[in-house]
Amino acid sequence: MENVSAEKKAGWEVARELEKKKPTMGERAVIESSKWKNMLWYAVALVVLFAGAAWLAGNPFEFTQRLPSAFVKAKGWMGGNEWQIVWWVVIVAALFEFMDSAGGMGYGTALTPLLLMGGFDPKQVVPLIMITEAFTGIISGLIHGEFENVEWKFKPMNETTKLVLMVAITGMAASALSITAVYKILQLHKFWVKLYVTVLLIVMGVCSLLTAKTYLNYRPGFMWLFAFVGGFNKGVGGGGYGPVITVGGLLAGVPVKSMVAVTSMAEGFTSLFAVITWAALITSGVVVDYLLLPSLVLATVIAAVGAPYVTRILPEKFWKVTVPVYCCLLAAYSFYKIWPDIQKRLLS
């Protein structure tokens, strides 16, 4: 009885109980009407967020000037307040946000370089991804709770709630430390930062594949290390947070569905801290262009609800293999992006 009681306080037993009570995907696809009513509140929050994004995209303040990126110049929008929904951005962002909310990784890691390649300025991309990750991460985490992928409890506080607080707070501290150490004190070249994140993703992906078919005992002490490394990555490269936290949680013994929810929630709070940092930069004269914010918010509206629902329906065995494979694919993508720089250094 003691083991059952201890597990009941964890917060991840709810997903396994759901699979026992509703063993088929068809049964799990049916959602109680009371849960859909609760979803209306999240829908209202997302509508308000989209309205705010559209307002900011129109440059209502001096610090929201249109930046002269290649995309803006091609549209002839320099000096004006014009904006529109960029549908290819919506589609790509929805895809990666869906995988991020369902698999615990990939949104910032994969989307940022694609948007920069698409002709957008970093100040049209990085702060906006942080904003959308902040809101979507928290809302997606709450929706994971509604769909019984995880249980959030404060009185008494269960293990999943403790994990979110620990991962988020440690990640914020590590992120602030890494930004200061890497960019101000050590002043490392971007190549070494990218190489570090890429190698780490490869190691995490391989380790997760080796343990994909086993159920490990829960070792909460491991999560401090993974939380610190994930936060450090967030600061030095903007990506590599989700893979380390999610896969680290699996290696620490957290069931995959609940760990995805923990990562979403923790990344939401960590990104919120980054948004506050950007707000401080804006007060010192930094200009941010919110041109893409409505497109990114529209993409996250699709993913924030759909991803936790898919996580609920598909069995845990599927996610135990899919998440490690996805981590390896992201590692391969990161290696592909950095390989030209490696070749140049090898030949020089």
pLDDT at 3: 43
144 in Cβ contact with 260 (< 8 Å): yes
For residue 156, say if its preceding peptide bond is cis, omega within 30 degrees of 0.
yes
pLDDT at 5: 43
Average pLDDT over every residue of 288-303: 87
Q: Residue 220: give the domain boundaries.
A: 2-347
User: Could you tell me which residues are beta bridge partners of residue 154?
Assistant: 157
Average pLDDT over every residue of 169-190: 67
Whether 33 shows a pLDDT value over 70: the answer reads yes
pLDDT: is 134 or 182 the higher one?
A: 134
Instruction: Record the tokens describing residue 188, joined without a space.
Output: 């490392």
Would you give the distance in Å from CA 264 to the centre of its chain? Answer: 6
Helix (H) or strand (E) holding 218: none
**pTM, entire model:** 0.80
Q: What ranges in the chain are assigned the alpha helix state H?
A: 2-8, 13-21, 25-28, 33-57, 70-75, 87-103, 107-117, 126-146, 159-180, 190-210, 221-237, 241-251, 256-283, 293-313, 316-347
Mark 244-264 as b/e (b = at least 16 C-beta within 10 Å): bbbbbbbbbbbbbbbbbbbbb
Instruction: Record the tokens describing residue 145, joined without a space.
Output: 């709770």
> Residue 150 and residue 238: Cα distance in Å, rounded?
27
157: helix, strand or coil: strand
pLDDT at 7: 46
> Residue 322 and residue 339: Cα distance in Å, rounded?
25
11 in Cβ contact with 161 (< 8 Å): yes
pLDDT: is 14 or 122 the higher one?
A: 14
> Residue 165 and residue 183: Cα distance in Å, rounded?
27
55-83 tens-digit pLDDT: 999 888 877 888 888 888 888 888 778 88
pLDDT at 215: 64
Q: How many domains does the chain have?
A: 1
User: Could you tell me which residues are beta bridge partners of residue 157?
Assistant: 154
pLDDT: is 102 or 150 the higher one?
A: 150
137-177 tens-digit pLDDT: 888 888 888 888 898 988 888 888 999 999 889 988 887 77
Tell me the residue type at 207.
C
Q: At what angle do helices 241-251 and 256-283 cross, to 10 degrees?
A: 150
Instruction: Record the tokens describing residue 133, joined without a space.
Output: 């990750």
108 in Cβ contact with 133 (< 8 Å): yes
| Residue indicated by tokens 């760990």 | 259
64 in Cβ contact with 56 (< 8 Å): yes
Instruction: Record the tokens describing residue 319, joined without a space.
Output: 């996610």
Give Cα separations from 233 to 49, 129, 177, 273 (angstroms): 28, 16, 11, 15
